[in-house]
Amino acid sequence: MTVFENLQQIIQDIEAAQPQDVEALEQFRIKYLGSKNIIKPLSKGFRDVPNEQKKEFGQLLNKAKQDAEQKFQGLKDNLETAADEAVGDDLDLTAPAEPIALGSRHPVSITMNRIIDIFSRIGFAVAEEREIEDDWHNFTAMNTPEDHPARDMQDTYYLKNSTSMLLRTHTSSVQARTMTTQQPPIRIIAPGRVYRNETISARSHCQFHQVEGLYIDKDVSFADLKQTLLYFAEEMYGVGTKIRLRPSYFPFTEPSAEMDVSCFICDSKGCNVCKYTGWVEILGCGMVDPKVLENCGIDPEIYSGFAFGMGVERQAMMQYGINDIRLLFENDVRFLQQFQSAL
């Protein structure tokens, strides 16, 4: 076969080629257009072609290259269109989207957000702080003596090999964090998780949530505390809710009190939740002990203030009729998806 005949055969082959898929098309490209294509060696035979045929041979060479290029482009376009159409067959752009499973808020978050919302409306700023705390902010600054049972290894989770770093046992540590970094007036609420080494049961857990409140300014009185808490109780549990302050003891407040609200489940008539007393305990509170102010670098001769701290889980459980605190930490979707909230 002469180089001429060879070339003509190639041109015929190019015309006849019918690659049906991407792979066959790639084979075609490699054969006729790749760096080792079969046309290349023929162009080397150019000089053996008699002079009078050189022109024709050159034209044929060019034709072979152009045919291969054109055929390749055409086939490629066809294959791409076919692929698009295949997808298009079952792609309906007007179809409604696949439903996305919507989450719902956790009952503890709902309750905590309500508390934050209520205090935000009267100017309390949210202060969030660390859960791994040091001994000073959690206990010492808060006037909790060395021999206080809360400091016991039995109650507090200390970090491994450390007697000074711990998981905060209450959000009162945020009081110390705030007072050592800000000057009065201070008006904050501190929501967050706290930890205590307690046996897990239907009533208690080793982790739970609190919201702390702190107000420091000139001339803050117990009446301010009482009024603020009454406002909270009515917003949280309904207009007409009564509050009752019982004398109590906390190392960081003096005087200290515990606050009950009239039972919002039975309207104080007596039920399981209020144990037939008509009252439910909600929080601890008091006037910030001058020693605490002093510890944190605030002059108790000039400033005074009040503080309070409440548990979130108990309030959520009462409100939603949940009788086992463990449900709040198990994250069973069947339980969690029952709660709806705007907050």
Q: Residues interacting with ligand DAH, by CB under 6 A?
A: 170, 172, 212, 250, 253, 284-286, 307-309
178 vs 241, which CB is nearer to ligand DAH? 178
Whichever of 61 and 142 has its CB closer to ligand DAH, that residue is 142
Q: Where are the alpha helices (DSSP H) in 45-197?
A: 51-89, 107-120, 135, 173-179
Contact 177, 214 (CB under 8 A): no
For residue 280, give the 3-state DSSP assignment.
Answer: strand
- Considering beta carbons, is residue 192 or 286 the nearer one to ligand DAH? 286
Q: Which is nearer to ligand DAH, 178 or 253 (CB)?
A: 253
* Three-state SS sequence of 248-279: EEECCEEEEEEEEEECCCCCCCCCCCCCCCCE
Residue number, 61 or 214, with CB nearest to ligand DAH: 214
Contacts of 279 (CB under 8 A, 6+ apart): 244, 260, 261, 262, 263, 268
Tell the smallest beta-carbon distance from residue 176 to ligand DAH (Å): 11
- Cβ closest to ligand DAH, residue 172 vs residue 262: 172
Distance in angstroms (rounded) separating the CA atoms of residues 283 and 125: 19
Q: Smallest gap, in angstroms, from Cβ of residue 339 to ligand DAH?
A: 25
Which residue, judged by CB position, is nearest to ligand DAH in the bound state?
Answer: 309
Q: Any idea of the CA torsion for 223, 225, 226, 229, to the nearest 10 degrees?
A: 160
CB of 150 to ligand DAH, least distance (A): 9
Inter-helix orientation angle 51-89/3-16, to 10°: 20
Quick one: CA dihedral 154, 159, 163, 168, positive or negative? negative
Side-chain half-sphere CA neighbours of 58 within 13 A? 7
| DSSP structure class, residue 172 | T
CB of 341 to ligand DAH, least distance (A): 26
CB-nearer residue toward ligand DAH: 107 or 284: 284
- Three-state secondary-structure class, residue 158: strand
Task: Quote the least distance from Cβ 268 to ligand DAH, whole Å.
Answer: 24
Exposure b/e, 42-53, CB count within 10 A at least 16 = b: bbeeeeebeeee
CB closer to ligand DAH out of 203 and 269: 203
Q: What three-state secondary structure class fits 229?
A: helix
Min dist CB 225 to ligand DAH, Å, is: 9
For residue 310, the minimal CB distance to ligand DAH (Å) is: 8
Q: Residue 285 CB, nearest distance to ligand DAH (Å)?
A: 5
